[in-house]
Amino acid sequence: MKIIDSVKGAPDILPPVSAGFNAIEAAMLTTAQTFGYERIRTPVFEHTEVFARGVGASTDIVNKEMYTFEDKGGRSLTLRPEGTAGIVRAALSAGIPRGGALPWKVCWAGELFRYERPQSGRQRSFTQVDVEALGTSDPLIDAEMVILGWDALRAAARTAGKTFDADNLEVRLNTLGDRADRPAYHAALNAYLDPFEAAGQLSEDVVTRRHINPLRAFDSKAPGMAEIMANAPLLKDHISEEARDHHRMVVRLLEAEGIPIIHDDRLVRGLDYYTRTTFEYQATNLGAQSAVGGGGRFDGLAEDLGWNEPFQGIGLALGVDRTYLSVYGVPPGDPNARIAPAPRVEVYGIPMGQDALEPLFSLVTALRREGIRAEMGESTRKARALFKAADRSMARLALVMGDDEVAQGEVTIKDLSTGEQVSCPLDPAKVLSSIRQALNL
Ligand code: AMP
């Protein structure tokens, strides 16, 4: 019988890659927590309506990419293809808008699922760190969010001994104005696109989607569309004075902090809910899929989800897989990735013979309970194999116990890099203190 492969586009992330991957994710979450965001967990699936109404009918995500299924109770559920709609749904379910403690600042990390064509930097199952601030329209929070993403990506690169700075990480910024600004702009953009459609020059995807949201014409990667859009009217020329002031303040705050922003009038991002501030981080060493993160304001999303008062918000999503690809130069699921393994444990127990099994097992358990990362080899294996396993674990110390040690109530502590060894009475407190000393803990 053949073994069952993983699903296409859904890579396994295994050691030693997982250590680097987790470090990136942890650095991003820690940065968010430093900015006052609390880590939450929400379900991986939601009612399909959350995304259908929240993310928008003109988007690729809703049209083509959702993993939607019916559960045994006949509900239509969808594996989350993005984070924000589910978080806003969770906030509304919990009555956060009326709770008084606003802004509600949260972050989370987890897998997302999109039925896309797998390619470098694009998978069907991938991991994001998401950060959201709900219940605020203050431009200060917009600036905070852009800085948070920048700092988080820089911290993530440092976990791999790399640096992200203005030379290899771009921060693109735009404003999409308010929803009230859209009808007039949509009319102008559609009037610009009509003659191209009449001449049969618009791509199929734009023709079908522009009547729902003509902004999608800026996202289209179809041949010829970039040239057509080069002269299209821009949203920034059609936004209210209020949205303009908001944007000026965001820019001022970011410039004061030295964030190397690139103003990008055509940055619309692929989701319908964005308003005002939108931004994206692009790693210059990645090819077509260069965005390592992005985000923006979504001031009308809560209303799309049924809340009948304004409840603004802004969020950020950082792609852990693509950040890994950028800093390590290989995708995290690549089975041939040559990533240096990290030490799994600090101490490795080597039982030479059956009599050592029980006392050594007790000792290793005691060390683990004191926070020493420790592992023990199987007592049925030969000494040579056990020392090899200890080397592979990259432990600094081995605890060796054979018949002599058992008879004398001792254990040998061996430094695996220098080969030096000392005997120690078989007393957990004494062994612990010798180990701490040897490891400089
Ligand atoms: P988005 O929600 O599309 O704005 O995505 C935010 C970030 O998630 C992107 O900048 C990517 O780094 C990452 N991302 C989005 N889609 C994928 C995917 N299919 N595979 C891997 N990473 C992705």
Percent of the chain with pLDDT over 90: 84
Quote the pLDDT of residue 404: 93
Query: 91: which 2 tokens?
Result: 């906030």
- Give the model's confidence band at 3: pLDDT under 50 very low, under 70 low, under 90 confident, else very high: very high
Name the residue of 21, 125, 128, 150 to mutate for ligand 1: max ligand atoms within 8 A of Cβ: 128
Query: 238: which 2 tokens?
Result: 């059609």
CB atoms within 10 A of CB 79: 19
Query: 160: which 2 tokens?
Result: 């791999």
Name the residue of 321, 324, 326 to mutate for ligand 1: max ligand atoms within 8 A of Cβ: 321
Q: Tell me, using a 6 A CB cutoff, whether residue 53 lines ligand 1.
A: no
Q: Tell me, using a 6 A CB cutoff, whether residue 376 lines ligand 1.
A: no
Quote the pLDDT of residue 334: 87
For ligand 1, atom 8, which residue shows the shortest CA distance?
319
**Residue-wise pLDDT tens digits, 130-188:** 999 999 999 999 999 999 999 999 999 999 999 999 999 999 999 999 989 988 999 99
Average pLDDT taken over every residue of the chain: 94
For residue 335, the 8-state DSSP code is T
Reply yes or no on whether the pLDDT at 274 is more than 80: yes
Query: 209: which 2 tokens?
Result: 């989607």
Q: Tell me, using a 6 A CB cutoff, whether residue 296 lines ligand 1.
A: no
Q: Report which ligand 1 atom has the smallest distance to the Cα of 295.
A: 4
Query: 154: which 2 tokens?
Result: 């820089």
Q: Tell me, using a 6 A CB cutoff, whether residue 172 lines ligand 1.
A: no
**Residue-wise pLDDT tens digits, 367-394:** 999 999 999 999 999 999 999 999 999 9
| 193 Cα: distance to centroid of ligand 1 (angstroms) | 29
CA 258, CA 253: separation in Å to the nearest integer? 9
Reply yes or no on whether the pLDDT at 209 is more than 90: no
Query: 420: which 2 tokens?
Result: 């030096």
SS3 letters across the chain: CCCCCCCCCCCCCCCCHHHHHHHHHHHHHHHHHHCCCEECCCCCEEEHHHHHHHCCCCCHHHHHHCCEEECCCCCEEEECCCCHHHHHHHHHHCCHHHHCCCCEEEEEEEEEECCCCCECCECCEEEEEEEEEECCCCHHHHHHHHHHHHHHHHHHHHCCCCCCCCCCEEEEEEECCCHHHHHHHHHHHHHHHHHHHHCCCCCHHHHHHCCCCHHHHHCCCCCCHHHHHCCCCCHHHHCCHHHHHHHHHHHHHHHHCCCCEEECCCCCCCCCCCEEEEEEEEECCCCCCCEEEEEEECCCHHHHCCCCCCCCEEEEEEEHHHHHHHHHCCCCCCCCCCCCCCCCCCEEEEECCHHHHHHHHHHHHHHHHCCCCEEECCCCCCHHHHHHHHHHHCCCEEEEECHHHHHHCEEEEEECCCCCEEEEECCHHHHHHHHHHHHCC
pTM: 0.93
Name the residue of 79, 289, 324 to mutate for ligand 1: max ligand atoms within 8 A of Cβ: 289
Reply yes or no on whether the pLDDT at 28 is more than 90: yes
| 189 Cα: distance to centroid of ligand 1 (angstroms) | 27
Interacting residues of 221 by C-beta distance below 8 A, sequence separation 6+: none
For ligand 1, atom 20, which residue shows the shortest CA distance?
122
**Residue-wise pLDDT tens digits, 69-89:** 999 999 999 999 999 999 999
CA distances 296 to 22, 92, 138, Å, are 25, 19, 13
- Give the model's confidence band at 339: pLDDT under 50 very low, under 70 low, under 90 confident, else very high: confident
Instruction: State the average pLDDT over residues 396-421.
Output: 96
Quote the pLDDT of residue 371: 96
| 94 Cα: distance to centroid of ligand 1 (angstroms) | 28
